[in-house]
Amino acid sequence: MKTAWTEVVESACVYADTWITWFRSPEIGNGAYPGQFLMLRCCDEGGEPGAELEPRTKNLEPMASFDPLLPRPMSFHRIRTGAHGPEWSILYDVVGRGTAWLSRRKVGDRVYGWGPLGRGYEIGHTSRNLLLVGGGIGVAPLVWLAEQAVAKALSVTMIVGARDSEHVFPSHLLPPEVEVVVTTDDGSAGRKGFVTEPFGELLEWCDQAFACGPTVMMQAMAAVAHASKTRRTVQVLLEERMGCGTGICYGCAVQVRVRGGRAMKLVCKDGPRFEARDVW
Ligand SMILES: Cc1cc2nc3c(=O)[nH]c(=O)nc-3n(C[C@H](O)[C@H](O)[C@H](O)COP(=O)(O)OP(=O)(O)OC[C@H]3O[C@@H](n4cnc5c(N)ncnc54)[C@H](O)[C@@H]3O)c2cc1C
Ligand code: FES
């Protein structure tokens, strides 16, 4: 894990209120793999970390630049090689002050962050058929996983769920080898209904399933997997509000099943990837 300033190299709204922002900062993306995340400070700090802190404190100026105080966790969406080296992106919905601030960053703006963090997805050595399930903005970490799997000549089917056609992640941004199944709550694109239906149908086809999305969606998937008595494993990325992202504040503790009972785990350090059957 490294802390560093990152520089925005590209930013655009891709659909509805969903943005992709690309950053340059090899330190933070170095060694990252799909399902891992980073923390980004979403406030106008300026200068090097700490450089402005002392004068402001002395002058007793309002510390508006530290608002919001807590950094925001974001999954790595994709990694590419840019003109000046490695670049990584985040795909995010504007839902509040932090993400609105991120969406206003322009090319050349700097953002402070740290990463890569947590344990991401793990593709088993013998897995050939992968089923990826993304609900809403949950597609963010799955795109890179799909790209890596396709590069290894694995078969990938991705179920993309959204509330309506406006909020569907565009299929053309996925590798052409990926089989895409779209579901929308209102039926305005793809199949009408929830991702759980095609998930249940495709569960026996896959060797492993990977999911990210609203808790209620992943919980429903766990119920489908449990009812089917399948031996397929379903890796899910849990989302909790995070204060540090590094195991210090204990703000992201969840209970999971372990041998002999249940135990508290930290989503940022022990996760965010967990086996669905250990959580629900
Ligand atoms: C490991 C991890 C990876 C994530 N990856 C992504 C990603 O790739 N793309 C993306 O759009 N979002 C992602 N999130 C969620 C993202 O961190 C929150 O949407 C963001 O922090 C909201 O900040 P805000 O200031 O804009 O909103 P706030 O004003 O803080 O909150 C707005 C709304 O979002 C909810 N919210 C805030 N933080 C979280 C959170 N951590 N989990 C669930 N709900 C939250 C609040 O309850 C509230 O309803 C991730 C979260 C985690 C824990
Ligand atoms: S976010 Fe601080 S311990 Fe997990």
What is the rounded CA–CA span in Å between residue 28 and residue 6? 8
Residue 84 has a pLDDT of 84
Residue 46 has a pLDDT of 52
Residue 58 has a pLDDT of 44
Note the pTM of the prediction, 2 decimals: 0.92
Is residue 205 in contact with ligand 2, taking CB distance under 6 Å? no
pLDDT digits (tens, 9 = 90+) for 133-148: 999 999 999 999 999 9
CA 63 from chain centre, in angstroms, equals: 30
Residue 50 has a pLDDT of 44
Of ligand 1's listed atoms, the one at least distance from the Cα of 97 is 25
Of ligand 1's listed atoms, the one at least distance from the Cα of 140 is 8
User: Which residue's CA is the closest to the ligand 1 atom numbered 26?
Assistant: 96
Of all residues in the chain, what percent carry a pLDDT higher than 90?
A: 85
Mutate to test the pocket of ligand 2, among 40, 244, 265, 274 (most ligand atoms within 8 A of CB): 244
Exposed (0-12), middle (13-18) or buried (19+): which is 138, by Cβ within 10 Å?
A: buried
Can you tell me whether residue 120 is helix, strand or coil?
coil
Ligand nearest to the CA of 239: 1
Domain ranges within the chain, ordered by starting residue: 2-117, 129-279
Asked if 156 contacts 179 with a C-beta cutoff of 8 angstroms, the reply is yes
E strands, 29-118, in order? 37-40, 72-75, 78-82, 85-93, 110-117
Q: Is the peptide bond before 272 cis (omega within 30 degrees of 0)?
A: yes
Is residue 248 in contact with ligand 2, taking CB distance under 6 Å? yes
Token digits of residue 258: 């372990």
The architecture that CATH gives domain 129-279 is 3-Layer(aba) Sandwich (3.40)
Give the CATH number of domain 2-117.
Answer: 2.40.30.10
Residue numbers in the chain where pLDDT is lower than 50: 47-64
Q: Which residues pair with 173 in a beta bridge?
A: none
Token digits of residue 147: 């790209």
Residue 113 has a pLDDT of 95
Angle (nearest 5°) at CA 227 between 223 and 232: 85
Residue 67 has a pLDDT of 76
What are the backbone angles phi and psi of residue 30, rounded to the nearest 5°? -60, 125
Ligand 2 centroid, distance to 116 Cα (angstroms): 14
pLDDT digits (tens, 9 = 90+) for 175-205: 999 999 999 999 999 999 999 999 999 999 9
